Amino acid sequence: MTMLKVDHIESRYGEVVGLHDISLEVNEGEIVALLGVNGAGKSTTLKTISGLLHPTKGTIEYLGERIDRLAPEAIVRKGIVHVPEGRRIFPGLTVRENLLMGTSNRKTTRAEVERGIERVLEIFPDLKRLINQLGWSLSGGQQQMLAIGRGLMANPKILMLDEPSLGLAPVIVKQVFQTIREINEQGVTVLLVEQNASMSLRIAHRAYLLETGRVVRSDTAANLLADDAVRTTLLTAHGRG
């Protein structure tokens, strides 16, 4: 079943066009990757879906309903959760409080919050000992785990992850990708934006290749992984933001 349908959208930052023409679909239960070099429009696509930007052309539908004019706080209430680039942990809140903030998209009981936190700590056991530490004191990898955990607290139907491997050491990156796969196996649909193409293609079902704000290719992950041309594009193509 198609959950999210992005149809020929254009997005701008002021007068600079970020996206020219993007169309994509995300089906229930999938991991879909958006790949491309820096500035190809991957993050802009996520920002447009989550309502931080409104498309200047085209439509976005979630379960058959237009969402492209809604505010971010309305979209996250529908279960589309955007974990932004650079982790964006609340620096002055503790790990527990950061997780609590993830439940801001709905009314919760105390017990529900506790269950949610427990579930996150099962996925990221490292966070357990940091639970009362302030966000700014965490390392990059810990912050990334917290950011994903915070996203999970929202009970996402679709989890959109923007560059979860950004600035992390390879060993941590592996853990992060493994966790994304686990989360998906628990039934969360994932839309993943990554520079790290190989890793993403290995966990994703399908992927879209973006270049200068356009989709230039879409295929199953396996096909893209086997294609040498994709590698070359990603390593040497023009990039602009």
Partner 1 sequence: MAKQILKFIPVVVLLAIIPFLLPGGRLGTYYLTLTILSVSYAIACLGLTVVLGYSGQVSLAQAAFYGLGSYTLAILTVKHHWPFWPSALLGIIIPTLFGLFLGAISLRLTTHYLALVTIGFQVIISLVLNNWGTVTGGADGISNIPRPSIGPLAFTNDRAYYWLMLVFLCLAVYVVHRLRHSRLGNALLALREDEIAASAAGINLFWAKVLAFSVSAALGGLGGVLYAAGAMYISPNIYIFDQSVLFFSMTLVGGQESIIGTMLGAGLLTFLPEWLRFLKDYYIAVYGLLVIIVVLFLPEGLWGLVQRGVRAALRLMKKPRPTQTAAVVETLMSRPASVKRPVATDQVLLEVKDLHKHFGGIKAVNGVSFTVRKGDVAVLIGPNGSGKTTVLNVLSGIYEPTAGEVWFNGQNISGLKPHVINRLGIARTFQNIRLFPELTALENVIVGHYPKGRVGLAGTLLSSPRGYLEERIARERAEETLHLLGFTRIHEKAKNLPYGQQRIVEIARAMVCQPQLLLLDEPAAGMNTEETKELSHLVYRLHELGFTILLIEHDMSFVSQVATQAYVMDFGSKIAEGSVEEVLHNPAVIKAYLGDDAEYDYA
Partner 2 sequence: MQVIQLLVTGLAVGSIYALVALGFVLVYTAVNVVNFAQGDFSMVAAFFMVSLVVTAHLPYALGFVISVILAGIAGYLFQLGIYQPVKNRPRNFLPVMIATVGGSIFLQHLFLILYGPVPLQLPSVFKQQTVDLGGVHVYPQYLLIIVVTAVMVALLNWFFERTKLGKQMQATAQDPTTARLMGINTARMNALTFAMSTALGGLAGILVAPVYMVTTTMGSLIGLKAFAASIVGGFSSVKGAIIGGLAIGIIETFGGTYISGAYRDAFAFIVLVLFLIFRPYGLFGEKVSQKV
Q: Does 167 bind partner 2 (CB under 8 A)?
A: no
List Cβ neighbours of 55 (8 Å cut-off, separation of 6 or more).
9, 10, 11, 19, 48, 68
Window 105-144: contact mask with partner 2 (x via CB under 8 A): xx--------------------------------------
Short-list 77, 78, 55, CA closest to 68: 55
Q: Which two tokens stand for residue 150?
A: 């915070």
| 44 vs 50: CA distance, rounded Å | 10
Stretch that binds partner 2, among 3-11, 20-28, 88-96, 186-194 (CB under 8 A): 88-96
Residue 38 CA: distances (Å) to CA of 19, 53, 65: 13, 19, 31
Q: Does 154 bind partner 2 (CB under 8 A)?
A: yes
For residues 212 and 40, the answer to whether their CB atoms sit within 8 Å is yes
**Residue 84 interacts with, from partner 1, partner 2, none (CB under 5-8 Å by kind):** partner 2
Site size for partner 2, by CB under 8 A? 25
CB of 66 or CB of 181, closer to partner 1: 181
Chain residues in the site for partner 2 (CB under 8 A): 50, 52, 71-73, 76-77, 81-82, 84, 88, 90-93, 97, 100-106, 150, 154
